[in-house]
Amino acid sequence: MSIIMTLRIALKALNRNKMRTVLTMLGMIIGVGAVIAMVGLGRGAQTTIEEQVKSAGTNMININAGNYSFGGVRQGQGMSNTLMPEDAEALRFVPGVQYVAAGANSRGQVIAGNQNWNTRIEGTDVDFPFIRNWQPKYGSFFTPQDVRTAQKVAVLGSIVSDTLFGPEVDPTGEIIRIRNQPFKVIGVMSTRGQSAMGQDQDDIVFTPYTTVMKKLQGQQHINNITVSATTPETAPVAEAIRETLRIRHKLSGSDPDDFMVRTLEDMASLRTETTKTMTTLLAAIAGVSLLVGGIGIMNIMLVSVTERTREIGLRLAIGARSRDVLLQFLVEAIVISLFGGLIGIGLGFVLSDVMERTLQWPTDIPSNAIGMAFGFAAATGVFFGFYPARKAARLDPIEALRFE
């Protein structure tokens, strides 16, 4: 018997008991709908978590000046003067590097009117807000022109701004003094709180690194370079940076590095574990939902086999083969699963949209989730429909015809 004829007979059989067919599909509809909705919520949550972790710097690489030894005494990390602004520019061409910011740091008393505050002075570059995903609350960050000309401009952390000018006050355009030199305030960074290492990120003043080098420190070298990689997998990029700097510093194979390259491996591990947990959760939800729907299909198909025992016996008696009967009931189970899966996919999109609107929770349904749900629906129909179909195919024609 052709597959088209088998499909037509299956549709007629399902159409005879419309209500039961609909109720049978209901389990699959709810199961697939739940899978689509959970995948959407899970992906949305995962994206949100990744953005939050990314803002903390999972893809950030720190390059610090290395050790400096004098008379056999090692001065420790950051004491050498071999890291230069040209090194930072060279790293822009390393594959996998997205943003680069040279750094020259200091500390000093900041004065505004009759107020003063001792804080960190961090000289950095224009890419810093993109590396840290940290934008100003008031005003703006400095420009490439400010960096090239070593302008005396400052962007305040929120604590410094609140201390010198008062809370919720926009000090843009005001003049502060750092080491008795006037700096124009051009912005205030949004509140960030403490870092993962416990450092207060808002107790700081940002200026161009060239300004710190030339106007505050009187040095030619920089203290550090902050790099943002294009992906959270920073290890290959860090190694490429290390090789580039060794070549620039003319270090031979036996020479130790005169710089230190560090990645935030703990944050990267956190991202990986978060992704694994979310994937496991979604897999468990999908499995339970489809299992419930599949058991419902098996139950109804077993009832259908019992009700149609005489029909099966008659078909076997007039020449139908066992595999024809097997295929007939298997096709009916698959049709129920596929129709239920299609409706469930639509329901999943509706549920995701409703939850996004009511709970203000971002959802993101990937295209492969639709194919996955549809494929699982078909596989569930085959798996749970096979036993009833096999039972029908093994019926004895004579006993089936005698069945009351």
Render pLDDT for 92-109 as a digit per residue (tens, 0 to 9). Answer: 999 999 999 999 999 999
Q: What's the mean pLDDT in 337-350?
A: 83
Q: Which amino acid is at 399?
A: E
Q: With bands split at pLDDT 50, 70 and 90, how would you rate the model's confidence at 213? A: very high
Which range has the worst mean pLDDT, 78-87, 236-245, 321-330? 321-330
The pTM (predicted TM-score) of the whole model is 0.57
The answer to whether 127 and 100 are in contact (CB under 8 A) is yes
Angle, CA of 383, 29 and 338, to the nearest 5°: 50
Q: What's the mean pLDDT in 292-320?
A: 71
Q: What is the pLDDT of residue 2?
A: 61
Better pLDDT: 400 or 283: 283
Nearest to 244 by CA among 66, 102, 90: 90
Q: What is the pLDDT of residues 16-40, one digit of tens each?
A: 677 777 777 777 787 778 777 777 7
Q: Which amino acid is at 105?
A: N
Better pLDDT: 380 or 240: 240
> Where is mean pLDDT largest: 23-37, 188-202, 217-231, 351-365?
217-231
Q: Which two tokens stand for residue 393?
A: 């195919």
Better pLDDT: 335 or 76: 335
Q: What's the mean pLDDT in 287-311?
A: 72
Alpha-carbon distance of 24 to 21, in angstroms, equals 5
Q: What is the pLDDT of residue 279?
A: 62
Q: What's the mean pLDDT in 302-314?
A: 69
The answer to whether 117 and 149 are in contact (CB under 8 A) is no
Q: With bands split at pLDDT 50, 70 and 90, how would you rate the model's confidence at 272? A: low
C-alpha dihedral over 179, 185, 190, 194, to 10 degrees?
A: 0
| Number of other CB atoms surrounding residue 307 within 10 Å | 11
The answer to whether 200 and 162 are in contact (CB under 8 A) is no
The answer on pLDDT for 111 being more than 70 is: yes
Q: What is the pLDDT of residue 197?
A: 55
The answer to whether 353 and 29 are in contact (CB under 8 A) is no
CA-to-CA separations, 124 to 5, 141, 226, in angstroms, rounded? 74, 11, 9
Q: What is the pLDDT of residues 352-402, one digit of tens each?
A: 888 788 877 777 777 777 777 777 777 777 777 776 777 776 666 666 555
Q: With bands split at pLDDT 50, 70 and 90, how would you rate the model's confidence at 198? A: low
Q: What is the pLDDT of residue 76?
A: 46
Q: Read out DSSP for 96-132? A: TEEEEEEEEEEEEEEEETTEEEEEEEEEE-TTHHHHH
The answer to whether 213 and 57 are in contact (CB under 8 A) is no
Run of H or E residues at 81 = none
Angle, CA of 326, 330 and 331, to the nearest 5°: 120
Q: What's the mean pLDDT in 271-278?
A: 66
Q: What is the pLDDT of residue 73?
A: 38
